[in-house]
Amino acid sequence: MSELILGIESSCDETGVALVRTHPGAVPTLLAHALHSQVEMHQAYGGVVPELASRDHIRRVLPLTEAVLAEAGASLAQVDVVAYTRGPGLAGALLVGAGVACALASALERPVLGVHHLEGHLLSPFLSADPPQFPFVALLVSGGHTQLMRVDGVGRYALLGETIDDAAGEAFDKSAKLLGLGYPGGPALSRLAEQGDATAFRLPRPLLHSGDLDFSFAGLKTAVLTQARKLGDALPARSADLAASTQAAIVEVLVKKTLAALVQSGLQRVVVAGGVGANRLLRTQLDAACAQRGVRVHYPELHLCTDNGAMIAMAAAMRLQAGLEQPRRDYQFDVRPR
State the residues that interact with ligand KG4 by CB under 6 A. Answer: 121, 142-144, 169, 172-173, 184-187, 190, 274-276, 278-279, 306-307
Residue 140 labeled ligand binder: yes
CA 244 to chain centre: 22
Least distance in Å: CB of 280 to ligand KG4? Answer: 7
Rounded to 10 degrees, what is the CA torsion of 311, 317, 321, 323? 90
Query: Do β-strands 146-153 and 26-37 pair in parallel, antiparallel, or remain unpaired?
Result: unpaired
Query: Do β-strands 269-273 and 4-9 pair in parallel, antiparallel, or remain unpaired?
Result: unpaired
Q: Which of 10, 22, 38, 142 binds Zn ion (CB under 5 A)?
A: 142
CB proximity list for 202: less than 8 A, separation 6 or greater: 245
- CA gyration radius for the chain? 20
Residue 143 labeled ligand binder: yes
Least distance in Å: CB of 16 to ligand KG4? Answer: 10
Least distance in Å: CB of 62 to ligand KG4? Answer: 23
Decide which of ligand KG4, Zn ion, none touches 177; Cβ closer than 5 to 8 Å per partner kind.
none
Residue 219 labeled ligand binder: no
Q: What angle do CA 31, 35, 38 make, to 5 degrees?
A: 170
**Which one, 166 or 307, has the nearer CB to Zn ion?**
307
Residue 173 labeled ligand binder: yes
**Which one, 90 or 249, has the nearer CB to Zn ion?**
90
Residue 106 labeled ligand binder: no
Considering CB under 5 A, how many residues would be counted as binding Zn ion?
2
Burial bucket for residue 50 (CB in 10 Å: 0-12, 13-18, 19+): middle
Least distance in Å: CB of 179 to Zn ion? Answer: 23
**Which one, 117 or 319, has the nearer CB to Zn ion?**
117
**Which one, 147 or 279, has the nearer CB to ligand KG4?**
279
Decide which of ligand KG4, Zn ion, none touches 172; Cβ closer than 5 to 8 Å per partner kind.
ligand KG4
Burial bucket for residue 229 (CB in 10 Å: 0-12, 13-18, 19+): exposed
Least distance in Å: CB of 202 to ligand KG4? Answer: 21
96: left (phi > 0), else alpha (psi -120 to 50), else beta?
Answer: alpha
Least distance in Å: CB of 173 to ligand KG4? Answer: 5
Helix, strand or coil, per DSSP, at residue 218: helix
Residue 196 labeled ligand binder: no
Decide which of ligand KG4, Zn ion, none touches 147; Cβ closer than 5 to 8 Å per partner kind.
none
Residue 117 labeled ligand binder: yes
**Which one, 12 or 69, has the nearer CB to Zn ion?**
12
Distance CA 69, CA 72 (A): 5
Least distance in Å: CB of 187 to ligand KG4? Answer: 4
Distance CA 26, CA 9 (A): 24
According to DSSP, the residues that pair with 296 across neighbouring strands are 269
Q: What angle do CA 9, 85, 117 make, to 5 degrees?
A: 95
DSSP 109: T
Contact (CB, 8 A) for 262 and 161: no
Residue 308 labeled ligand binder: no
**Which one, 128 or 268, has the nearer CB to ligand KG4?**
128
Residue 307 labeled ligand binder: yes
**Which one, 167 or 213, has the nearer CB to Zn ion?**
167
CB proximity list for 243: less than 8 A, separation 6 or greater: 175, 176, 179, 181, 189, 190, 192, 193, 196
Decide which of ligand KG4, Zn ion, none touches 144; Cβ closer than 5 to 8 Å per partner kind.
ligand KG4
Per CB under 5 A, 307 contacts Zn ion: yes
Annotated binding site for substrate, which residues? Answer: 140-144, 173, 186, 279
Annotated binding site, which residues? Answer: 117, 121, 140-144, 173, 186, 279, 307
Annotated binding site for Fe cation, which residues? Answer: 117, 121, 307
Binding positions for Zn ion, rule: CB under 5 A: 142, 307
